Structure 1
Amino acid sequence: MSNEKHIWISPEKKGIRENRLLARKVHENLGDTGFKPQYSAKWVDVTKDWTGALRVQIQHEDAKGITPTMLKWWFENLAQKTTWNGKDFTGPEVSFYHLWHHRDHIAITPLTHPQNGTNNGFAVGAYSKIQEQFNDFHEVINNKMLTTVLDETEFSFLIKAGSLTVGRINHYYEPTENGSAFYAETYMGVDIPIIGWLINWLLLPLVFSKKTAEHWIKHNIEETGQTEKVLPYLYKKYAQK
């Protein structure tokens, strides 16, 4: 009788692992599966105000070879898939979202469509769901987002719990000599008069603590750094026709 142990993995988790490995293979073909280190950022900061809300700020290293126009297209199309394998476009399908972070990302799912067209990623006025897990074993993020701004200077959305806004994430970018300056800020907290600060002080630490903020900083620096590796190839193939 074989002593080999068979570990059961749910079909959902197995599918996630397979997609992540496909994305990692693309980076292997590019010759680099590593991520940018945290010290690559120009500066980071985590603050907690008197209401109990947390603000996390990152001024990233400039994204070389990436224009604001490319960034807008990227966020608009993150839910798409590609057959790019890091060499050509003959590989198995892999999602843009997994290519952006092959270890942590699970899925991005458009939930609604804006009035002016389809939703292939994020779109102003449309809801999307983001699923990811920091460092593949820390906190699981499973949030519904409402995009409020997406243009060639800013990408911002609200984090929703039902009809309640519990936070927001803002990205600002502008052209530089070699690419784009990129700033990201997460604000977690409920802005409800009188009781908002009670919710923030008592309940917010259970779902988004300072330790969570540290994990988010690491993850955000890593995924933002991957943009330089994958976006130029995908933009040239799908956007510049």
Structure 2
Amino acid sequence: MIILLIIGFLLKPMPNFEHSSPRELPWALPDINQAYTNYQYLDNGQILIEITHVPLINITPKMLAWFYQNLPISTVQIDQTTLPWYHIFHPSEHGVISVVEPATNNLPGMGIGALIQRKEWFGDFNSQGAGRIINFSEQGMTIKPELAGLYFGQIEHSFIQTNKGSQYTVKSLIGSDLPVLGPIINLVIRYKMFPEPMIKQWLRHQVEEVGSLNSFLPQLYGAKHNEHHYRLQLSTQAELN
């Protein structure tokens, strides 16, 4: 099974799909230099990626958990335009996100046990896949990339309460920890599926999407809504301050 999976990795073409048009939103994305980012290759070939995001002001861990739970199932109207939340989370590099398998508590959206599928891109690098949510709470969430019933690392999001809001950190471990065959799988991941230029673009993308929460999440959390559709009136940057 594992050998067949490696062969599948080698033969599988890189994702090729059409990008949706960028959305015009009344806020600017943060610069990657405003956050701490780092990546390194472990002895077994796994990739360790760490991010300490820009401080999130007036955003509590509870608000972050609420946002992620509703992310795949909610829309928002800004002025006269209606968009999925996923499209305001990053205005130019998010395609679609969906719940493939529901959470164990059967609540809609993200939750423990849910399998979440997403299609996005980082600069010129397309990315699509699915992740299983292992932990989900107001303290953060843990997602394990899943393919053919096997896990390939995990991504830990941590939400830490501060005096002004929240500190958001992410620790990602990409690749397989299987003995013997794991390092072979990780070589394929490193050089074909997740090369170093893509890692750098992914870091930029993550800093931009999380940092953008400062511009809309407090307003979204308190917005008028009808089930999973919310309404915001944000015409200028001044209205966000």
With normalisation by structure 1, the TM-score equals 0.81
Are the aligned partners of 1:72 and 1:151 in contact in 2 as well (CA < 8 Å)?
Answer: yes
Following the alignment from structure 1 to structure 2, what is the Cα–Cα distance between the partners of residues 205 and 163?
Answer: 23
1:238–1:123: structure 2 CA closer, same or farther, 3 Å change rule? farther
Following the alignment from structure 2 to structure 1, what is the Cα–Cα distance between the partners of residues 90 and 103?
Answer: 26
Are the aligned partners of 2:86 and 2:97 in contact in 1 as well (CA < 8 Å)?
Answer: yes
Are the aligned partners of 2:144 and 2:155 in contact in 1 as well (CA < 8 Å)?
Answer: yes
Superposition RMSD on alpha carbons, in Å? Answer: 1.9
Following the alignment from structure 1 to structure 2, what is the Cα–Cα distance between the partners of residues 238 and 71?
Answer: 18
Q: 2:32 aligns with which of 38, 53, 63?
A: 38
Deviation per CA, 1:137-189: give whole Å up to 9, x if none: x2111011100111111211000111111122111111111110110122111
* Structure with more helix by fraction: 1
Gaps of 5+ in 2: 1-16, 228-241
Are the aligned partners of 2:190 and 2:196 in contact in 1 as well (CA < 8 Å)?
Answer: no
Residue 52 in structure 1 maps to residue 48 in structure 2: no
* 1:238 shift after superposition: 5.8
Following the alignment from structure 2 to structure 1, what is the Cα–Cα distance between the partners of residues 204 and 43?
Answer: 25
| Match in the other structure for 1:102 | 91
Q: 1:132 aligns with which of 89, 112, 120?
A: 120
Are the aligned partners of 1:112 and 1:119 in contact in 2 as well (CA < 8 Å)?
Answer: no
Following the alignment from structure 1 to structure 2, what is the Cα–Cα distance between the partners of residues 93 and 55?
Answer: 37
Following the alignment from structure 1 to structure 2, what is the Cα–Cα distance between the partners of residues 124 and 238?
Answer: 27
| Match in the other structure for 1:7 | none
Secondary structure of the structure 2 residue equivalent to 1:184: strand
Following the alignment from structure 2 to structure 1, what is the Cα–Cα distance between the partners of residues 105 and 76?
Answer: 28
Are the aligned partners of 1:119 and 1:126 in contact in 2 as well (CA < 8 Å)?
Answer: no
Equivalence map 1:46-195=2 (5 Å) = 46-85=39-78, 91-120=80-109, 122-135=110-123, 138-195=124-181
What fraction of aligned residue pairs are identical, expressed as a percent? 22
Are the aligned partners of 1:100 and 1:230 in contact in 2 as well (CA < 8 Å)?
Answer: no
Secondary structure of the structure 2 residue equivalent to 1:123: coil
Which protein has greater RCO, CA pairs closer than 8 Å, 6+ apart?
Answer: 2
Following the alignment from structure 2 to structure 1, what is the Cα–Cα distance between the partners of residues 102 and 74?
Answer: 18
Gaps of 5+ in 1: 1-11
Post-superposition, which runs of at least 4 consecutive aligned residues in structure 1 deviate over 3 A?
A: none
Are the aligned partners of 1:114 and 1:123 in contact in 2 as well (CA < 8 Å)?
Answer: yes
* Structure with more strand by fraction: 2
Deviation per CA, 1:2-40: give whole Å up to 9, x if none: xxxxxxxxxx848x32xx43xx2xx23xxx2x2100110
* 1:97 shift after superposition: 0.6
1:49–1:143: structure 2 CA closer, same or farther, 3 Å change rule? same
* 1:203 shift after superposition: 4.3
* 1:194 shift after superposition: 1.5
1:224–1:193: structure 2 CA closer, same or farther, 3 Å change rule? same
| Match in the other structure for 2:238 | none
Aligned length: 210
Code of the residue aligned with 1:97 in structure 2: it is: Y
